[in-house]
């Protein structure tokens, strides 16, 4: 009994304190106060959720002032946290899909879309987006097919004719007619028409921006183009996989029966002296790294070079071959600085390969400056050919 009395007295006291001093209105210079305001109304700002934050609970709705906090949509074109990173990533080539790399998109493929969901913007997208940024690859077409059949086929039909099973009479309930994507109208339509439809949908069709990544959207579009090609009996062929091409060139080189005199009598000694003369002799042990690029006048490897170098590192590791990396310049500028630039560049390539796990003893690096041109230095095209990185298989 006693306990209950104490308890009720304590509760009364608490209620009194709360009643008298738990909250007070703001007025004049007094900002007012609340006891544990966070418990009364959450100050969490839900992203994209429109809800007024009320700093007190006794004000009537009409008196709520318009500076009360209101969550807002991100600024147009905002890229979500963690969605940039080509230059920030330690080694983007590890995290990146190879095709992303080719298209030069950020590592996870998040690319802002600047066309609104209106007819004018649809027209603008159709006029401005005229190219699929990804090359046609078999892998991409296969993935595009899977995605198309998951997301689009139920309405647009497996062949794109607008007769997916939810539309067809045999069990179909869908009320609207999906577009016939293999009709002349869509065969003639620009890439933007498809991309815009994927991003925003059209009328009853909802958008798929949140279901498909940037690359996946373009893979679906490639697949739709291949369905159109099938319809018209034209070709929509994948380009050969550049990695596979590199690997087969490398293995051809390795297995070449002609040892071409080997390293000792390679092109170096044959024409090392005749500075500036193009030699007709081709060293069968030499292969050019076609996609290795440097910043102008520097030995800084451009990120885009990593793709080929990674494949190169793979084949080097598999074959255990010893190679010499050689750097070459055109004959513009001072021969001595060309020599040192080409040396630095060859070393940069070597260091990169070592960073990819290749044994340092497997690779040497040497700069040849402008002493080994493969084309005439008197034309732009020739000079461009001459600025190059090669490797030579060192046979024993
Ligand atoms: C639930 C059914 C449905 C699904 C799933 C669907 N669509 Fe559609 N789609 C439609 C309908 C209906 C239309 C016709 C809209 C109109 O013109 O009013 C349409 C129209 C289109 C158009 C033509 C837009 C234009 O500019 O006229 C394209 C392109 C398109 N869809 C692509 C896709 C792709 C790609 C997918 C899969 C990622 C997809 N659709 C998934 C129902 C669907």
Separation between Cα atoms, residue 382 and residue 182, nearest integer Å: 45
Residue nearest to atom 29 of ligand 1 (CA): 194
The pLDDT value recorded for residue 153 is: 95
Segment 276-282 shows an average pLDDT of 64
- Nearest CA residue ID for atom 30, ligand 1: 197
What is the rounded CA–CA span in Å between residue 319 and residue 321?
5
What's the whole-number mean pLDDT along residues 284-311? 88
Question: Which ligand 1 atom sits closest to the C-alpha of 208?
Answer: 38
Rounded average pLDDT over 218-233 = 97
Q: Residue 384: its pLDDT value, please?
A: 93
210 vs 316, higher pLDDT: 316
Predicted local distance difference test score (pLDDT) of residue 368: 96
220 C-beta closer than 6 A to ligand 1: yes
**Are 96 and 214 contacting, i.e. CB atoms less than 8 angstroms apart?**
no
**Residue minimizing CA distance to atom 14 of ligand 1:** 178
Please report which confidence band the pLDDT of residue 305 belongs to, taking 50, 70 and 90 as the band edges. confident
**Average pLDDT of the segment spanning 52-76:** 57
Distance (Å, rounded) from C-alpha 376 to C-alpha 382?
A: 5
Cβ atoms of 330 and 386 within 8 Å: the answer is: yes
How high is the pLDDT of residue 98? 40
> Tell me, what's the pLDDT at 87?
36
Which residue has its alpha carbon closest to ligand 1 atom 15?
202
Distance 194 CA to ligand 1 centre (A): 9
pLDDT in tens, 236-256: 998 877 788 889 989 888 887
> Of 22-31, 224-233, 308-317, 375-384, where does mean pLDDT reach its minimum?
22-31
Q: Which of 160, 178, 217 has most ligand 1 atoms within 8 Å of its beta carbon, as the pocket-test mutant?
A: 178
pLDDT above 50: residue 274: no
**pLDDT (tens digit per residue) in 308-329:** 999 999 999 999 999 999 999 9
201: alpha, beta or left, given left = phi > 0 and alpha = psi -120 to 50?
A: left
pLDDT of amino acid 24: 73
Q: Which residues of 110-146 are buried (b: 16+ CB within 10 A; e: fewer)?
A: ebebebeeeeeebebbbeebeebbbebbeebbebbbe
The upper half-sphere exposure of residue 350, i.e. CA atoms within 13 Å in the direction of its Cβ, equals 23
Asked whether the beta carbons of 292 and 389 are under 8 A apart, the reply is yes
Q: Which domains does the chain have, with CATH numbers?
A: 113-232 (1.10.760.10), 242-394 (3.30.1330.60)
**Mode of pairing for the β-strands spanning 363-367 and 322-328:** parallel
In testing the pocket of ligand 1, which one of 144, 145, 146, 152 has its CB within 8 Å of the most ligand atoms? 152
Q: Give the residue, 209 or 156, on which the prediction is more confident.
A: 156
For residue range 160-205, what is the model confidence (pLDDT) as tens digits? 999 998 888 766 678 889 999 999 999 999 999 999 999 999 998 9
Question: String of b and e for 339-360 (b: at least 16 CB within 10 Å)?
Answer: bebbbbbbbbbbbbbeebebee
């Amino acid at each position: 009994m006693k306990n209950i009395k104490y308890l009720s007295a304590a509760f009364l006291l608490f209620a009194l304190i709360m009643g008298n001093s738990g909250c007070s209105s703001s007025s004049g210079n007094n900002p007012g106060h609340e006891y544990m305001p966070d418990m009364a109304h959450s100050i969490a700002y839900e992203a994209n959720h429109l809800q007024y934050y009320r700093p007190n609970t006794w004000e009537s709705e009409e008196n709520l002032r318009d500076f009360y906090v209101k969550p807002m949509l991100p600024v147009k074109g905002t890229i979500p946290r963690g969605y940039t990173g080509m230059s920030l990533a330690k080694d983007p080539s590890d995290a990146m899909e190879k095709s992303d790399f080719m298209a030069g998109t950020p590592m996870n493929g998040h690319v802002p879309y600047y066309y609104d969901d209106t007819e004018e913007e649809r027209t603008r997208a159709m006029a401005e987006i005229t190219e699929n940024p990804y090359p046609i690859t078999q892998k991409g077409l296969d993935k595009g097919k899977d995605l198309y059949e998951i997301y689009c086929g139920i309405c647009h039909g497996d062949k794109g004719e607008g007769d997916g099973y939810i539309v067809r009479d045999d069990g179909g309930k869908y009320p609207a007619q999906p577009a016939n994507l293999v009709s002349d109208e869509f065969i003639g339509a620009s890439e933007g028409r498809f991309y815009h439809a994927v991003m925003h949908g059209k009328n009853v069709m909802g958008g798929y921006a949140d279901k498909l990544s940037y690359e996946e959207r373009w893979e679906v579009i490639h697949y739709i183009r291949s369905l159109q090609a099938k319809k018209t009996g034209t070709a929509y062929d994948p380009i050969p996989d550049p990695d596979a091409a590199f690997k087969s060139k490398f293995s051809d080189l390795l297995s070449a029966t002609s040892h071409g005199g080997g390293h000792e009598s390679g092109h170096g000694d044959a024409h090392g002296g005749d500075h500036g003369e193009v030699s007709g002799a081709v060293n069968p042990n030499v292969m050019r790294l076609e996609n290795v690029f440097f910043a102008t006048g520097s030995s800084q490897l451009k990120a885009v070079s990593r793709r080929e170098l990674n494949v190169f590192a793979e084949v080097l590791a598999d074959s255990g071959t010893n190679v010499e990396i050689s750097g070459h310049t055109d004959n513009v500028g001072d021969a001595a600085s060309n020599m040192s630039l080409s040396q630095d560049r060859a070393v940069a390539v070597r260091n990169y390969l070592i960073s990819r796990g290749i044994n340092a003893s497997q690779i040497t690096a040497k700069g040849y400056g402008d002493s080994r041109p493969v084309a005439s230095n008197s034309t732009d095209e020739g000079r461009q050919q001459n600025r190059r990185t090669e490797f030579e298989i060192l046979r024993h």
